[in-house]
């Protein structure tokens, strides 16, 4: 299994089980992201703690996840970045675009907080 998905409270936590998120595995990640989005989940945490390497095709898959969430008015969070992956994201300046947290659990908590704040904002306008 290259990627696994855990769905909790309308938040999908997708965990990468590949050491290299490259051209070989990026299409599988894109498929999983699209599958989750089509199922109606607009909040995704992508846990890359097991991935020690990422190339441009891997980054492309990550950006697809970010766009899918944004298009459905959700949030996308990246977690568990290994040093080499984090460096690539910084070099490509994607750390300015993506929400990045240390662990998947913190990503989940972040999204729960965002959803709660959004609901509170909606309620105060009515």
pLDDT tens track for 22-46? 999 999 999 999 999 999 999 999 9
What DSSP string runs through 16-37? E--SEESTTTHHHHHHHHHHHH
Indicate the DSSP class of residue 91. Answer: H
CATH topology of domain 3-115: Transcription Regulator spoIIAA (3.30.750)
For CA atoms 81, 44, 103, 95, give the dihedral sign.
positive
Tokens for 42?
Answer: 């607009």
For CA atoms 10, 16, 22, 23, give the dihedral sign.
negative
pLDDT at 123: 74
Residue 126 has pLDDT above 60, yes or no: no
pLDDT at 122: 76
Are the CB atoms for 104 and 10 separated by under 8 Å?
no
To the question of pTM greater than 0.85 for the whole model, the response is: yes
């Amino acid at each position: 299994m290259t990627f696994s998905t855990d769905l909790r409270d309308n938040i999908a936590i997708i965990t990468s089980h590949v050491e290299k998120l490259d051209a070989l595995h990026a299409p599988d990640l894109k498929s999983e992201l699209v599958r989750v989005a089509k199922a109606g989940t607009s909040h995704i945490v992508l846990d890359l703690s097991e991935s020690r390497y990422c190339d441009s095709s891997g980054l492309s898959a990550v950006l697809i996840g970010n766009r899918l969430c944004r298009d459905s008015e959700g949030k996308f969070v990246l977690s568990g970045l290994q040093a080499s992956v984090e460096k690539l994201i910084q070099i490509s300046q994607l750390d300015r675009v993506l929400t990045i947290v240390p662990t998947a659990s913190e990503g989940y908590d972040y999204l729960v907080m965002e959803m709660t704040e959004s609901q509170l904002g909606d309620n105060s306008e009515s």
